[in-house]
Structure 1
């Protein structure tokens, strides 16, 4: 594996982990302030959406890095 591939996988890992943590934080804060908690369906949907956003942002970052 070359250096760029390792960088790419590192960004993917941190991006996905960060978005999942953000998702969890939103869920916890909703419960804390008296809103109803996410149902399983909402949790799954938001997880899939955050995963997609992470993949798209990672891909753009990778393209920008490759152009330099």
Structure 2
């Protein structure tokens, strides 16, 4: 399999990565806890159970929303 680089957007910022990258791998790489984020991929909210099986494609747009608690 040939690895090709793809261009995506994360929270509106360009990001270059490998085309074989899963969403879960990206979150780990960026040091996000997948249990404390909401992910929107191309305007669709993804459930956490799909993070491992969702692979990134060229021109994907990802919004990462961090969930914080407090009181």
TM-score by length of 1: 0.27
**Bigger relative contact order, structure 1 or 2 (CA pairs below 8 A, ≥6 apart):** 1
The structure in which a higher percent of residues are strand is 2
The structure in which a higher percent of residues are helix is 1
